Amino acid sequence: MDFSLTESERDLVGLCREFAQKEIAARAPLAWEEARCPTDLLREMGGLGLLGMLVPEEWGGVGMSTVGFVAAMEQIGLADQSVAAAWQAHVTIGSLPLYLFGDDPQRERWLRPLAEGRSLGAFGLTEPDAGSDARGIRTKAERRDDTRELYFDDVWVADDHLIGDPSMGLSQFLSTLEVGRISIAALSLSLTQAVLDMATDYARQRVQFGQPISKFQAVQFKLADIATELEAARWLTYRAASLRDTGQPFLKEASMAKLKASRLAVVAASEAVQIHGGLGYMLDSPVARFYCDAKVLEIGEGTNEIQHLVIARALGC
């Protein structure tokens, strides 16, 4: 399969790489230490036109292919997972429902500011008693004259705020997660690449028993396994993205990519910490920060248990 990018997409990926290396890598660790969302970085990404990746130009975006978006995600996630996670959520589940199911006035009112980086999008799914069981969500809407009430705190929603067909709410809701799974897979690729780079660099520098630990077969095999599995996960992810770009079904492939890549990210982060030894367990070390960010990849956009179910059903089980 051909995963080649257009010239404009290569330029955008290059822009992501440059911003990630110069700005995100330098500033995001402080935001992590302070336990805050680095909205300043996200705002600057919006100014660069990076918040409307998958939205067509007519609605303020750049109309990038899914394959191009995956390539861009790999660059952002290499620098920091928290920024990348917020960014991908905005680009996919925070924006695409408006594009896919909204009408033109709604797209103009809400999608354009999201795509142009003037607002940040979010997606409400989880409740205390509902997560993987999306049908168990208790938040309901009741028609009362021209409004609908959401069970928050006296929040009223007018008819022109309703997105899509009210009889298709759940299916529309869940279909948005399909591209989000490709995005999480891409985020997982970037984490695995980041910790592999860190572990390899450290292994070359760390000397024990008179030689760098990279010379010991036990360490070499860990790195070799991670690198091999990363290439396999990368092909799964780009194939799922390519299927979406060509208008083919990609539900099973997106779940496979998310399952494979997220499991690998967790294992790779753990092995990278192991290679770093005690230094890797200290929270002020970069590899520990990525280790802390790994586990959520097996949970977000549908837990890996749900991915197993999606794949099994696609197989006819």
Helix-then-strand count for the chain, H and E: 13, 5
Q: Which residues of 81-115 are buried (b: 16+ CB within 10 A; e: fewer)?
A: bbbbbbbbbbbbbbbbbbbebbeeebbeebbbbbb
Residue of 178, 229, 271, 301 marked active site: 301
The residue written with tokens 């760098």 in the block is 212
> How far apart are the C-alpha atoms of 278 and 286, rounded to whole Å?
13
Alpha carbon distance 108, 58 (integer Å): 10
130 forms bridges with which residues in the sheet? 127
Report the C-alpha gap between 172 and 182 in whole angstroms: 17
CB 44 within 8 A of CB 96: no
Active site residue 301: yes
**Which residues are part of the catalytic machinery?**
301
